[in-house]
Structure 1
Amino acid sequence: MPKIIACCVLFLMIATQSFAVQATESLASEVSLKTMIGQMIMVGFRGEGATAARVILRDIKQHQIGGVILFEKDYLRPQAVRNIISKAQVCDLVDALQDISTIPLFIAIDQEGGLVSRFKPTHGFAGTPSAQKLGEKPVSETFAAGERTGAYLKDVGVNMDFAPVLDVNVNPESPVIGAIQRSFSSDPATVAKYAHAFAQGMGRYGIISGYKHFPGHGSSLSDSHKGLPDVTKTWSKKELLPYAELLGTEPLHVVMVGHLYHRKLDADTPTSLSYPVVTKMLREKLNYDGVIVTDDLQMRAITNQYSIDEAAVKAVQAGSDIVLVGNNMKYDPKIVSKLVTSLTWAVHNGDIPIERIRQSYDRIMKLKHDSGLLVDDVSNQ
């Protein structure tokens, strides 16, 4: 073979091998990004069993989402069962979800007690008094209520409860807090004391608490499910005191950021999508480095102004780690792929730095490890 031809062949072989190595490295990078973004997504779904829940099982397998949230009722189909029939059924459902997931899932629920209880006595679960009623009794009874809640959540495989509420009962007529007894007290110190007791009770059973709704929903005059509450004139710094008292202490917890508007905190953006609120106030001022979760991005407080795609990107830019979409006020079987696509494009376009994604992924994986969900090291998948 002439030397020139041989050299050309050798060059082509080296170039082909180099291209293959680059392609492999690129693919590995994309898989890693996909995993990190998947872990930042928590969604609701339809289905009470493995067959009926085939859409979410597909999404768990394909997109490695980090968590799901269970609901009792289907908002769009009031007579239909969403996810909850009985203890045995919930156990089987959770087992099916976890079995197909490479990384253990956060299985979340809103089980505050009182009116906000997805698990009810009719499903075979013990009832829990509302926060307001517990706040009128000795704090030991709140700890016991947390223990009972933690015990039955653990029994069915739920590992995260978006409770207790840290909202201060500033406005007893607030349609979403005070009027439905979701606050322990009008005194911030009492809220902190009782919320901590409830969280500690659940923590005995390994349940991750969800402190909400930062920076404080108790003074609102309207419901964020229906629009964006303006708390500019009613909110005060005392509503931050329960967070200042409890953040960073045991037991394990996340913080849920509420959909509120406060002109003096951020004149342009709802609190849940606000960098000054999420990063400057919660991260830096209160020195919180744990997992931050958005409230449901399908609430009209958000959807009246933003698409879900836009809201998810803004939430991550603001500093949240998990974007929560209940997929209940509106049902979209493709919601997970849409969220993954929008966040991935935001990274590729430079709208979200890759380091911002890594920070959230690291916090999520640390919480899964600290809570006992992670046994093996799967962080490098």
Structure 2
Amino acid sequence: MSRDLCRLAMTVLHPGFDGTSVPDWLRRALGEGLGGVVLFARNAINAPLVGQLRAENPGTVVAIDEEGGTVTRLEVLSGSSFPGNRALGVADDVDLTERVGRQIGRMLAELDITLNYAPSADVNANPANPVIGVRSFGPAPDLVARHTVAYVNGVQRAGVAACAKHFPGHGDTVADSHLALPTVHASRDVLFERDLPPFRAAIGAGVRSIMTGHLLVPALDPEAPATLSRTVLTELLRGELGFDGMVVTDAIEMRAVAAMYTPGEIAVRALAAGADAVCVGLCTEESLHEMRDTIVAAVRDGVLPEERLAEAAARVLALSGWYAGQAALRDKARADVDPGVGLEAARAALTTTGTAVLDRGPLVIEVNTRHSQAVDPATPTGVTAALTRRLPDTAMLRLEPDGKLPPFDDRPVVLVVHDAARHAWVREIVAKAVAARPDVIVVDTGIPGPPVGAAHVATHGISRVSAQAAAEWLTR
């Protein structure tokens, strides 16, 4: 096996790993030129861990999904210090969005993380979308475009690369690509008017990376998902939109593509289509070598041009080089602490109706809506904790989808729901609670349904600061 060809193949592979320290096989791979590593909450991310990665390969692209709001890897146990995209879109203050992006970038700069897989530039056109929802700035292309630019500017002016996702747009889907292959049925004209403007704006703002979505978009390519489509990645993204940064795949173990091909085949097809980095959310030494060897064999067999592999590796190295050149920006960002911006944004996003105020500890019933697999299951809504800090006699009960409301006593009742607009069963529980207790207070942490109850509070996302803003309003 050619050492140079093997190194090129290693450069384009960006795996995640299990555990809280760098395994020996990953250390060896980094020494052999592994181009990137993806970190998750399960890794208990800290500076020493990143230091272990960089000790083996100083230029490795260390990546993370730190969107803020529901998707956080650094603050998964406490909830994010920053509201997510939907809340920022509701507040609709681009300066505030840029400040949030800068503080997220500052957190990553402190850890020496190269690349943030954020923001979601998807236009959430379909209210039934099970995987984007509050991760989008909203349902309007112009709103999403201007906040995408603000977020990208905030992160990158902190010396960390941003990544607009999920190209060409995951907002008009009713399937979760973690579980199945979604299809976007829109016409080419609609795609260009609705889904592509945020990506075009991000490219204009100099975004360093774009992540592909595992989506079938028949108006662009009726056969291959976007991640594996040359039409989408090379002709559209590179050719028509003019993007020359690093294209990274969404995690290839997601069922949308994993049900179709082996990891090695997905890697080869994605590279041939125009991707530069192959994200593997959870990898082993065996699977890493299988992907490397499949890529090398594809080049030798003429299936994957060596020039395309070399181009992909060069773009990975260019991103690494860009990061190395931003050290002064990161130093400046580390000193630019804006500690109140997350709560400021959460307060600005809060929408309320009704006048009910809590003057004693309520019974909080958390309706346990199951989030998409992009959201770590340990992420709390935070509402109960925020209310308990203000009203220590607060009690809490979790209600599963097949559960029933408990008998009510004379305590105030707060019903915490998520995405009532999307779940009929959630709306049914809310209706029953309001019928039994007209003074019930409803807090919706997702895309809300119509306001009901003595008070209705919509946070437009899950984060520690969103919960704090809601608790402040309810105990004002």
Please give the TM-score of this superposition, normalised by the length of structure 2: 0.65
- Structure 1 equivalent of residue 121 of structure 2: 166
Contact residue 152 and residue 202 of structure 2 kept, 8 A: no
Q: SS at 1:117's partner residue?
A: coil
1:183 maps onto 2:136 in alignment:
yes
- Structure 2 equivalent of residue 42 of structure 1: 14
Structure 1, gaps ≥5 residues long: 1-26, 73-81, 376-381
Pairing partner for 2:44 from 72, 84, 91? 84
Q: SS at 2:63's partner residue?
A: strand
Contact residue 164 and residue 202 of structure 2 kept, 8 A: no
1:133 maps onto 2:102 in alignment:
no
Higher relative contact order (Cα pairs below 8 Å, separated by 6+ residues)? 2
- Structure 1 equivalent of residue 421 of structure 2: none
Shift of 1:174: 0.3
Shift of 1:248: 4.6
Counterpart CA distance in 1 for 2:82 and 2:257 is 31
1:194 maps onto 2:114 in alignment:
no
Counterpart CA distance in 2 for 1:298 and 1:141 is 35
1:205 maps onto 2:158 in alignment:
yes
Q: How many residues were matched structurally?
A: 323
Pairing partner for 1:56 from 26, 32, 35? 26
Q: Which moved more, 1:230-239 or 1:314-323?
A: 230-239
1:342 maps onto 2:312 in alignment:
no
- Structure 2 equivalent of residue 359 of structure 1: 311
Q: SS at 2:135's partner residue?
A: coil
1:65 maps onto 2:25 in alignment:
no
Amino acid at match of 1:340: R
Shift of 1:192: 1.4
Shift of 1:92: 0.6
Structure 2 matches for 1:136-285, cutoff 5 A? 136-137=90-91, 138-178=93-133, 181-233=134-186, 236-237=191-192, 238-250=194-206, 252-285=207-240
Q: Runs (4+) of structure 1 moved beyond 3 Å?
A: none
Amino acid at match of 2:199: Y
Q: CA RMSD for the aligned pairs?
A: 1.9
Amino acid at match of 2:13: I
Shift of 1:337: 0.8
Identity among equivalent positions (%) equals 34
Counterpart CA distance in 2 for 1:374 and 1:144 is 18
- Structure 2 equivalent of residue 321 of structure 1: 276
Shift of 1:373: 6.1
Counterpart CA distance in 1 for 2:29 and 2:7 is 12
Q: SS at 2:219's partner residue?
A: coil
Counterpart CA distance in 2 for 1:305 and 1:49 is 32
Q: Deviations over 1:326-361 (max 9, x none)?
A: 11xxx5331211111010000011111111112112
Structure 2, gaps ≥5 residues long: 328-476
Shift of 1:236: 2.7
Pairing partner for 2:50 from 76, 94, 108? 94
Counterpart CA distance in 2 for 1:248 and 1:139 is 16
Counterpart CA distance in 2 for 1:185 and 1:307 is 35
Counterpart CA distance in 1 for 2:108 and 2:201 is 26
